[in-house]
Amino acid sequence: MTASQTLQAMGAMLASGDIEVVDCTGVLGPNTPILQLPPDFAKNTPKVEIHKISEYDEDGPFFAWNWMVLGEHSGTHFDAPHHWVTGKDYEDGYTDTLAIQRVVAPVNVIDCSKESAENPDFLLTPEHVKEWEAKHGEIGKGEWVVMRTDWDKRAHDENLFLNTDENGPHSPGPTPECVEYLLSKGIVGWGSQCIGTDAGQAGGMNPPFPAHNFLHRDNCFGLASLANLDKLPPKGAILIAAPLKIERGTGSPIRALALVPKG
């Protein structure tokens, strides 16, 4: 099949619903959970604000529109390589310079929902990933890999989502070895349903925040606060995760869309 025939068939299947579009995005607004780093360690992103300009009133008789306070790393969002010091020198590592072809790719969905329900500090290891590959097929070059934890079911409540106690945040993520293994497969990026690409306790790992450190070192991308991964097959979907073209941006909220075969 030629690319032209494939796209034509795909258009027909989108129209008929044989290919479904699954929205892997959470609602972006004042209740969206935002990362809270220890204030003695770093400055933080403010909560999302939506302010009315007008709504068919004296400030705009025929139209409704808003303005926002919005951090780049808010809600369902994209981490560009320049976000981390290990990726600082990539000229194509910003939201406006990255190779956009890369962000549309097959997605591998690793189901860790059961393990994460039992242990909020669950860590995905290379051994887990290799077991998953033996069952579902190898992770390919240029593909997305996302960790299904069903953490989106907590997103209505910031405390539940961040899950912080006196020892810091508790949420699942990858080990440093796991990120290295995935990068050895040539992935385009790694996605999480939690507040960031790293585990809650990743500040204490070696190196700290290994998903950020290694992904961006290799000019790869991160996705955070993904939703509805329980509606995706382990393999066979295509994920579109495109950041806004923010000038010299280090990340951006996205509307993450998965194209999924019906049924």
Hey, which residues are catalytic here?
83
The site string for ligand 23J over 134-163 (x = CB under 6 A, - otherwise) reads ------------------------------
SS3 state at 110: strand
Which residue has the closest beta carbon to Mn ion?
Answer: 73
Cβ distance to ligand 23J smaller for residue 29 or 137? 29
Answer with the entry of ligand 23J, Mn ion, none that 35 interacts with (C-beta below 5 to 8 A by kind). Answer: ligand 23J
Answer with the entry of ligand 23J, Mn ion, none that 198 interacts with (C-beta below 5 to 8 A by kind). Answer: ligand 23J
Evaluated on CA atoms 165, 166, 169, 170, the torsion sign reads: negative
Binding residue (CB under 5 A) for Mn ion from 48, 73, 82, 189:
73
Distance CA 257, CA 140 (A): 20
Residue partners of 72: CB distance under 8 A and separation at least 6: 45, 95, 246, 249, 250, 251, 252, 253
Q: Is the distance from CB of 28 to CB of 150 less than 8 angstroms?
A: no
Q: Does residue 217 interact with ligand 23J by CB under 6 A?
A: no
Only segment of 57-65, 111-119, 233-241, 251-259 that touches Mn ion (CB under 5 A): 251-259
Amino acid at 63: F
Answer with the entry of ligand 23J, Mn ion, none that 98 interacts with (C-beta below 5 to 8 A by kind). Answer: none
Answer with the entry of ligand 23J, Mn ion, none that 28 interacts with (C-beta below 5 to 8 A by kind). Answer: none
DSSP state of 91: T
Scanning residues 73 to 92, which ones bind ligand 23J (CB under 6 A)?
73, 79, 83
Q: Does residue 198 interact with ligand 23J by CB under 6 A?
A: yes
Q: Is the distance from CB of 171 to CB of 126 less than 8 angstroms?
A: no
- Burial 53-84, CB ≥16 within 10 A → b, else e: eeeeeeeeeeeeeeeeebbbbbbbbbbbbbbb
Rounded-to-10 torsion of CA 123, 259, 162, 80? 80
Q: Does residue 198 interact with Mn ion by CB under 5 A?
A: no
Q: Does residue 224 interact with ligand 23J by CB under 6 A?
A: yes
Only segment of 55-63, 152-160, 194-202, 255-263 that touches ligand 23J (CB under 6 A): 194-202
Which residue has the closest beta carbon to ligand 23J?
Answer: 196
Among 172, 150, 170, smallest CA distance to 231 is for: 150
Q: Does residue 246 interact with ligand 23J by CB under 6 A?
A: no
Q: Please count the residues of this chain forming the interface with ligand 23J, following the rule CB under 6 A.
A: 10
Scanning residues 8 to 47, which ones bind ligand 23J (CB under 6 A)?
35, 37
List of E strands, 24-122: 49-57, 60-69, 77-79, 104-111
Residues that bind ligand 23J (CB under 6 A): 35, 37, 73, 79, 83, 195-196, 198, 209, 224
